[in-house]
Chains A and B, each alone.
Chain A
Amino acid sequence: DAKTTQPTSMDCAEGRAANLPCNHSTISGNEYVYWYRQIHSQGPQYIIHGLKNNETNEMASLIITEDRKSSTLILPHATLRDTAVYYCTTDSTGANSKLTFGKGITLSVRP
């Protein structure tokens, strides 16, 4: 699976959009991009995944560049409860495979 790199941390104001970047320049054609988050010491929570088209669900939007070498997770209206570590990872099977998590990006939402 491709290695991903993310900034260490970022913050945003409550109510504003949070745009979390991820680089995966070595991603191969069949690898999906997944985003999970971990709030404090809880178990990670699935957010969204995609292959090449942009995706949106009730939690977030995922924008994948045309060359697929990077992506951005967008939380459209961040709340204090969105403060968490966000992990970007790739998976070559798209289903039922091990995930590799780096250190992620710590998002702090300020009031």
Chain B
Amino acid sequence: NAGVMQNPRHLVRRRGQEARLRCSPMKGHSHVYWYRQLPEEGLKFMVYLQKENIIDESGMPKERFSAEFPKEGPSILRIQQVVRGDSAAYFCASSAKNEQYFGPGTRLTVT
């Protein structure tokens, strides 16, 4: 049973470009969470999704960030017009019941 998969593992974007981060949850998991970790910081919740629904996006910045979890395919975290402050590790987690299982993360570097 494969774990949570994220790709790409490393992503470099220039300021103003778009970043798309993908997350495939564990088999049988219908809940997906996205977290961001800035250097030397703890993880901060961004958004919680179920299939085709955003359940809680209270941690998402109001502009440039969006997330989806379509009926088919992976969950996508999209960052438009990236800025240097978006450089961070982005982790996805999935769950079926109690505990969340995290992916290896995508490290975004904005140059």
B88-111: CB near A (< 8 Å → 1, else 0) gives 010101010111111111010000
* List of B residues within 8 angstroms of A43 by Cβ: 4, 91, 93, 102-105
Check if B43 sits within 8 Å of A95, measured CB to CB.
no
Check if A104 sits within 8 Å of B102, measured CB to CB.
no
Q: Which residues of A contact B (CB under 8 A)?
A: 32, 34, 41-46, 49, 87, 94-104
Give Cα A96 to B33, complex, Å.
9
B8-25: CB near A (< 8 Å → 1, else 0) gives 000000000000000000
User: What are the 4 closest A-B residue pairs judged by CB atoms, nearest first?
Assistant: A43-B102, A46-B99, A98-B45, A101-B42
Q: Which bucket holds chain B's interface residue count?
A: 20 to 34
Give Cα A31 to B44, complex, Å.
19
- Majority SS of interface residues in chain A? loop
Q: Which residues of B contact A (CB under 8 A)?
A: 4, 31, 33, 35, 41-45, 48, 56, 58-59, 89, 91, 93, 95, 97-105, 107
* List of B residues within 8 angstroms of A49 by Cβ: 98-99
What would be 14 A-B contacts, judged by CB atoms less than 8 Å apart? A32-B98, A34-B99, A43-B4, A44-B43, A44-B93, A46-B100, A49-B98, A95-B98, A96-B31, A96-B97, A98-B33, A98-B59, A99-B100, A102-B42
